[in-house]
Structure 1
Amino acid sequence: MTETLNDPAATSVPQDFDALKRPASPSAVRSRGLRLQTLMRLRWLAIIGQSLALITVSGLLDFSLPVAQSFALVAAAVLLNLYLMQRYPNDTQLPEHMAMFLLGFDIVQLAGLLALNGGLENPFAVLMAVPVVVGASLLPPRPTIALGILACALASLLAFWHLPLPWIGNQPIDLPHLYVAGIWLAILCTVAFTAIYVWRVAEEAQTLSDALTATELVLARETHISDIDGLAAAAAHELGTPLSTIALVVKEMQRDAPEGSDAEDLRLLADQVARCRTILRKIGSLGDDGAAPFARQSLGELIAEAASPHRDFGVEIQIEKYGNGTPEPAWRRSPGILYGLGNIIENAVDFARNRVDITARWDSETVSITIRDDGRGIPIDILPRLGQPYLSIRSGRDDPAHALDRKGLGLGIFIAKTLLERSGATISIRNAQEADGGAVITISWPRATLDAAAVN
């Protein structure tokens, strides 16, 4: 099994899932945007902080500083917020260029305050990184890079052009140029590394959110199908009674009807009634043997149902069960467990050479299912990352070079792993140590968890 990430589209994933595929353009990576209300609240906090700092330094500490010019810059931020409040609704989703402009204004306004109050010697100079970090968390890379370049350029200018830092006794403080250069470098590093880190975390969070949405779609579809099976069985049962009445009436009419066209019509009607009965029996069987959404299902029945769609593809599926003197576990049929297990079995079949072995073991403590194929195994560089969404490692079983074409979405094993872990399972993935190789996936549950599920 060279790759255990099955294409979700091939495993009955809903059509809604197509919208969750990774977009090709970088600007489309983020589906979320920056709300105007969020940005305005952040600016109000900045305005309050800047005002308190100016009042404290000029009033309480009695330092000499350009108060009028400084408060003029604060007033500019206030006027911008008031204008935005009047011009746009609070729930406005900002387009990319507008969000970049507003964050750029915050950088320029803060740089102006720093230029009037000591430049990079001012301890608040580190706040230059804040608008860039906000942009990195919510905007695509291109506008974030533009904001970072603007912040770094203004920080570089502040290292040379600024008014003296307000200080005790109105005596200007003279910091060594090397120390100021260190502050400049620290600010640039803060802007760069913090923005990159926040952008990466935000991207992974969005990717995980999309993958979990796909998982919910799959689970909803499987549950819906199970519910339809149950409803179909109930409908077949209800239709059985009137159909029996029709069959009885046709039989009585055939007995009394003379030979001729009427008798032929009655025979045709009887044949069609019999055909309807056969169809209803097939539909009614959908609700039997654990297929109803709340029916009990043993471990062996679960494995058989999960493996059934993947037989007759030229790969033998061998199922073995071993109980350690305890009854075989059974619980309510779970579409999530069924889909997750079926997805893993399908991948094993896809990448096996000739055979897939499924072994179920249980005792008083644990219940486990081990799925092993006789394929080439999982590439060693991919093995530690299995289970991550959008892991692109698709490789065909018939590829003699065992090359990866980097087209898979990687959601198959993520969805299966998520659904199984929701049931309390732990999943172990490794390569077999034997000469014939192959991948080995073990799914384990605490016996107490399954017993509790059976009761509930």
Structure 2
Amino acid sequence: MTPTARILIAGMSGWLSGARAADNATGPADAIARQNMLQLIHLRWIAVVGQVVTILAVHFSLGFHLPLAAMMLVLAALVVLNLFNLLRLKSARPIGPYDLFLALALDSLALTAQLYFSGGATNPFTTLYLLHVILGVVLLEVWATWAIVFLTSFCFLLLVAANRPVIATGLSDQAFFGLFIMGMMMGVVLDAVLLVTFVSRINSNLRRHDAHLAELRQRAAEETHIVRMGLLASGAAHELGTPLATLDVILGDWRRMKVFAKHPELAQELEDMRGEVKRCKDIVTGVLLSAGEARSNEVRASTLRAFLDEVVDEWRATRDGEALTYAPDLSGVVPIVAESTLKQVIHNVLDNARDASPHAVRMSAHVADGWIVVTVEDQGPGFTAETLENLGTPYNSTKGRAGGGLGLFLVVNVLRKLGGEVAAANRPEGGARVVLSLPLASLQIGRRHAR
């Protein structure tokens, strides 16, 4: 078989099986409804194949004369219904409760037609009605479930009142009864196997849906926490702006006093104080910029290498620069937006690494497949298993001080907002490793303007 033929067969089988059914979902509820519809489609394929085999075996091997043309026409209708439902999954229109109800109702009517042509109420496979009822309980709302109950009950009563008798040649009453008992056993086993298989799948879909909702609630709570901290930081920055400006003015006035001109030591200390005040003002400005305030309409363009060099230089200027080994692997000019929040994120990770390993911190950076990857390593004690398990949750820290763990919490959430991710692990040779991955497209100038 040629590669093209294999690709075509794989594509056709994937389409017939409804692969990636949830791709066009408009939300979590629609995604779970599409997955449930997919289970009904799979069940219908099994029913079609099973009925073809059973009908042919009963007609040609056991001596029962069945209306093959009529029964095959019902199976063809089920195939058409499945193809229609597959097309329905490909569309963007949400799957609603009426769609699932209609699918189960049509399956019940198709089963009734097949039973009518093969013995009616005396057919041992009437137990398959229970499969539709139980699936209705799992998949449908209360009103729809009761509607399925009334429909299957009404269909069974119709089979009792009217059916097309099956003529068997060459079978004694005892042999016929034995076949009936065997058919009953096969029906019960088939019901049990199908129910266990498909109800388990449906419950798995529901559990994934519940887990997704729990994750969304957790993210909403984390974002609310971040908003509160941002408001607190922004308010504190505004409050600190005035006293810092006053201190800067006073220190500037002192600088011109004769007493400092006569004492170089005092003059140097004064300059050191002015430098620290300037640093505090820069930090306050950075807080306001990160909060979205005091931001100009112009975007500061840079390159990836220049931006990361600037991040490292600023960190070294205000911390123990000797502790950091910086090894970028960035070739070419990659234009980006100098994102202040990303700078703060990298500073935060470097601060944590320096706290754990004051004399040995390493940072590397490279671009791979359109992603910026920044790796920070240290030679400290590493992360505990609990910290790694709860990575990105607030107050998840081993430092034992109030407010600890917020740094990595903010790192994870800022990267998530930018479309990236954070991974943390312990190095085999000792120490910790934090990897920041960010799509390069999220820092492109055009994309940032669009946001």
TM range (shorter): 0.3 to 0.5
- TM-score, length-scaled by structure 2: 0.42
Structure with the bigger RCO (C-alpha within 8 Å, sep 6+) is 1
Structure 1 length as normaliser, TM-score?
Answer: 0.42
More helix by share: 2
